[in-house]
Structure 1
Amino acid sequence: MMRFRLMNDFSYLIYQKDFSEKGNDRYFLYDIDKFQEVTAKDLLNIDKTIITHDYWLIANSIYKEASALPKRVIDVVLLAKINIGIKASTSSDQPWDISNTIKPLFKDECDFDNYTQMYYRRIELSEETYMFFSHKLAEFTEQALDKAKILGEFDRFISLEVPLFNALVLSACKGIRIDNATLRKHKEQLEFDYYRELKRFAEKHNVFYQVPNEGEIREKLSGLGYETAGYSLDFLMEFIHSKEEYTDDLISLQKIYKSYRIFSSISLSQKRIYPIVETHWTSTARIYQKSPSLQNISKKYRNIFIADNGLQLSYVDYDQFEVGIMAAISGDDKMKGIYESSDAYLELAKAVFSDKGLRGKAKILFLSYTYGMSLDNILSSVSSLSGNQKAAKAYFSEFSTYEKWKAGVYTEYESKGLVSTIKGNLLHRTGSGELTQKEKRTCVNHVIQGTATYIFKEALLELCNHKEVEVLIPMHDAVLFQHPATFKPQEAVKVFQDKMTDILDGKVQGKASIEPFYAG
């Protein structure tokens, strides 16, 4: 683990991006009262940890010029995001942006504004202005690291988040190879599939010929009798039974639309894709690749990705990940028994619907319960699916220990104003008073999903450090990677299983498997 004794352990990088991509990027380093312009290759020889902001914008330029990246980089935007510990707002202005973290350190805001104008090449660069900003960057870094220590976030940030961030940024800069013939085929097919699905959806549900926005979706759901107040749209779409098949059809349309948009953004002349990686995209610290958002590509179109010459692709995935985590952290023996001896969702499908084919619906019911949906709403969903309400009530009533654990999470969130995963990643409450139903769902979800992300990241970092493995696309609880034939994919499975088992103190045994990445 990196330990910082003094701020002298750092060098501060301030850059000016050449948005024309002609290689005219400029780099400046501030180090122990010395401020100087350097080259991309100079950055590779820096032994200290480099501090910067919005590293995603310049990393690819450094890699193009130097064929490598600096050894260790800390992005203060990532650090601020972890410290602040709240969900992103719906606006483009986020509390961890430098305009909200570093700008307040300037006595005269015009000095910060001048820097941003130069940063975006709107006015001529002044080294004096850049040097002044570097001092404020150093000042903020010291404050942010001290805050991380106070919050208990420092160790995780340094030992896990920073090295994984550097590994995944490097992977994104190297790019992912794609098959152009398959890309062309999918582009043509997706355009046809999208407009066919859009027409079918509009005519079936009597709506406009367009993908509906959130307001239109909520209006439609209200008209169908849904109680939408206090529920996020994602929760309504994922966990509430689909009336008149509206949400099922909408999810299908949205998946095709996302794939259609992603493929439309990829040029047929491209040989590789270079996504932007966000290693702390959500408050639960999920990893996300954007521009393009590769994780949103439907399985049937994923065969555009191919391994580099001499290598093979493999995809390792956790099995019943959330169920195992819930069993371990709640101590519920019933849930643990289900996780260890069977498929929890299949067992519920048999018990309630007498139909193994409804495993997908059973999974939705199970997760809706665990994330806080009321038993009345669950039983209503069971009834609408012609299931056995009595059997469902008996099934869920057995998780008494899990219910007590959830109540404890609610109490902690309300009394302390924050809740933690098994290892840091605090979620700070923005409201007050008695918890709303939405807040109850949010805090339980944070503990479970945040713990899942922590386990996944630890496993992912170990894979990144394996000399024969190149991580390509991290998903929610799975990862696509490439490797030589000498590497056995079951080694990755063992890494996933052992990390989960160890982090959860052996309360459950981790389960993972090699799965198909593409479903043609």
Structure 2
Amino acid sequence: MTDLKWKLFLFFKDFSGRGADSFYWLENDRLEEASAADIVAFSGAVVCHDFWLIRDVLYDMAGDLPATVIDVDEFKISISGNPDDRLNREKLDVTNELEQFGARPEISSAYKRMFNRRIDFNADVAKEAAVAIAKLFTTLCERARADGEIERFFTVEVPVYRLLQKAMSAGIAINASGLSEKRREAEHDYFLCLKNYSAKHDMPLETPSRSAIENRLRAAGFEFDGVSMEYVLEFVPHKDDFGSDTIALQNFDGAKRVLSSLTLSSGCTRPIIDVFGSRTSRVHLRSPSLQNIPKKYRSIITAHKGANLCYVDFDQYEVGIMAALSQDPQLAALYVEGDMYEDFATTHLGLTANRKAAKQLFLSYAYGMSRNSLIDAAVSLGAERARAKEAFRLFTRYEQWKKEICANFQRDGRISTVLGNHFKRGGSGGLTGKEQRSAVSQVVQGTASLIFKRALLEVDKIDDVTIVLPMHDALLFEHRRVGTPAKVVAAFVAVMTEVLAHQIVGKASVSEFVLT
């Protein structure tokens, strides 16, 4: 992006909230003081670090955010292909990069302390740090171009970042009068679930730690052969429902914590949002993590006066993406027919009225669980062995596609979605089972994230839509006109169809956001 108009922006936040925040531009290697209005009015890209810290201050002072914001920390993470960069986000800040780009060691240390308001502002320190950050940004642009990430970053990630940061700054309206009731309900539900969980699975009367869950799974014969504990809980069937029961308990515990973190006085919440929150580019909210609240408590989120809330979700999302990318005719047929998991359960596995088990089994298969383990799991759930064998022989083209993805990953040392977002391999030699699953997941889930973000950008063009909350692959929004939800559904469908090169026709619908 050699023609990109941009300025390096530094800020020093007043953590006391008294309004003594200061803002600076780096111009011609000089540090110039600016106002919040100056920052927001700039027509080019505002380049900075830790934008989440100053986001709400800018919005409150100027009534808006800059038209384009590029956070160098997020830029580095989103193009690196290394998931460890996301995991280390809280440990390694921009000051760890300054020496590589010309700043003296003492400047890195002083700037960090100054940024955190531990020492007084020093213009010379700030200027030298700003020059180094500007060099970091230009280096990231060069790296993104060389790795084939530049188009995705500037046409998808950057505008979505601004869109969602502004939505969070505007605030999500909270029904304060109903919050206390939902808190009590969540406390009750959690302790009831905990009591039943403890009795059913002979576990201590507390939310189990990660190590306690892993020990229980190993004792039951589960192996973590290159898979995470979360994978085993969610995708591997459990005869006594230990996996789903554990996830349910964790969800109740999480909901209780989120509801407790909300304040009654303000009437709204302004979450911190990670627009590139995972290696596959999924959007994650934190502080508070509203995406993880079960439907029965979601009524605490309310519309602003005169508006209505609506929730639009993709239908059979992963299946459609897998069918399109692999061009598997059997998978495409199941996707077109309707509820793929219900049909797969009844027609192919003989597990009538057990959609949940069919979904677990299919996704385990789709992301690389061994055929023998799949068949054993299906039999343990009541399927006939011969029928289960036939069910997982249906998708011959998808099976070949998975092998092609893994071969490419092993050959190239990286794998990408349909538009960048690559994932680099850490090892060499033959792929482990975990690497095989990661490769397939990167392509499928990374493509899903790309489709969702492009859908957000299209939906934002509808003048009656106010984006409220992205919910993984669905969207909660406000509207005032009756016909707006249909327009949002149409946008979701059109974007999915286009990104997947018309191999399938996308599906989306209005769904229930709250359990009624």
Report the TM range for the smaller structure's normalisation. Answer: over 0.9
Question: Kindly tell me: are residues 100 and 443 of structure 1, through their superposed partners in 2, closer, same or farther at Cα, counting changes over 3 Å?
Answer: farther
Contact 1:280 1:286 in 2 (8 A): yes
Aligned residue number for residue 305 of structure 1: 301
Instruction: Among all aligned residue pairs of Structure 1 and Structure 2, give the percentage whose two residues are the same amino acid.
Output: 34
- What CA deviation, in whole Å up to 9, does each residue of 1:26-51 have, x standing for no partner? 11111233321111112122122110
Aligned residue number for residue 256 of structure 1: 252
- Asked if 1:158 corresponds to 2:154, the answer is yes
- What CA deviation, in whole Å up to 9, does each residue of 1:314-344 have, x standing for no partner? 1110000111111111111111111112321
- What CA deviation, in whole Å up to 9, does each residue of 1:223-276 have, x standing for no partner? 011112321111111111114322221111001001000001112223001011
Aligned residue number for residue 491 of structure 1: 487
Q: Distance in 1 between matches of 2:89 and 2:29?
A: 32
Contact 2:315 2:507 in 1 (8 A): yes
Q: Give the alignment of 1:314-333 within 5 angstroms.
A: 314-333=310-329
TM-score by length of 2: 0.97
Contact 2:77 2:85 in 1 (8 A): no
Select the residue among 158, 161, 167 that pairs with 2:163.
167
Q: Secondary structure at the match of 2:26?
A: strand
- Asked if 1:240 corresponds to 2:236, the answer is yes
Q: Distance in 1 between matches of 2:41 and 2:89?
A: 35
Aligned residue number for residue 65 of structure 1: 61
Aligned residue number for residue 5 of structure 1: 3
Aligned residue number for residue 28 of structure 1: 24
Select the residue among 207, 231, 242 that pairs with 2:203.
207
Aligned residue number for residue 222 of structure 1: 218
Q: Distance in 2 between matches of 1:413 and 1:193?
A: 45
Q: Distance in 1 between matches of 2:349 and 2:326?
A: 27
What's the CA shift for 1:92?
A: 4.8
Aligned residue number for residue 185 of structure 1: 181
- What CA deviation, in whole Å up to 9, does each residue of 1:375-424 have, x standing for no partner? 11111111111112222211220211111111111111111110000111
Code of the residue aligned with 2:457 in structure 1: it is L
Question: Kindly tell me: are residues 319 and 440 of structure 1, through their superposed partners in 2, closer, same or farther at Cα, counting changes over 3 Å?
Answer: same
Code of the residue aligned with 2:3 in structure 1: it is R
Aligned residue number for residue 504 of structure 1: 500
Q: Secondary structure at the match of 1:506?
A: coil
- What CA deviation, in whole Å up to 9, does each residue of 1:440-485 have, x standing for no partner? 0011011000001101110111112322111111112110000112
Contact 1:352 1:388 in 2 (8 A): no
Contact 1:43 1:70 in 2 (8 A): yes
Q: Give the alignment of 1:94-493 within 5 angstroms.
A: 97-352=93-348, 354-485=350-481, 487-493=483-489
What's the CA shift for 1:353?
A: 5.0
Q: Secondary structure at the match of 2:241?
A: helix
Q: Distance in 2 between matches of 1:88 and 1:19?
A: 29
Contact 1:40 1:62 in 2 (8 A): yes
Q: Distance in 2 between matches of 1:62 and 1:213?
A: 40
What's the CA shift for 1:93?
A: 5.2
Q: Secondary structure at the match of 1:410?
A: helix
Code of the residue aligned with 2:7 in structure 1: it is S
Contact 2:351 2:382 in 1 (8 A): no
- Structure 1, unpaired ranges of 5+: none
Q: Distance in 1 between matches of 2:182 and 2:383?
A: 39
What's the CA shift for 1:88?
A: 3.5
Q: Distance in 2 between matches of 1:338 and 1:478?
A: 22
What's the CA shift for 1:514?
A: 0.5
- Structure 2, unpaired ranges of 5+: none
Select the residue among 15, 18, 21 that pairs with 2:14.
18
Question: Kindly tell me: are residues 281 and 103 of structure 1, through their superposed partners in 2, closer, same or farther at Cα, counting changes over 3 Å?
Answer: farther
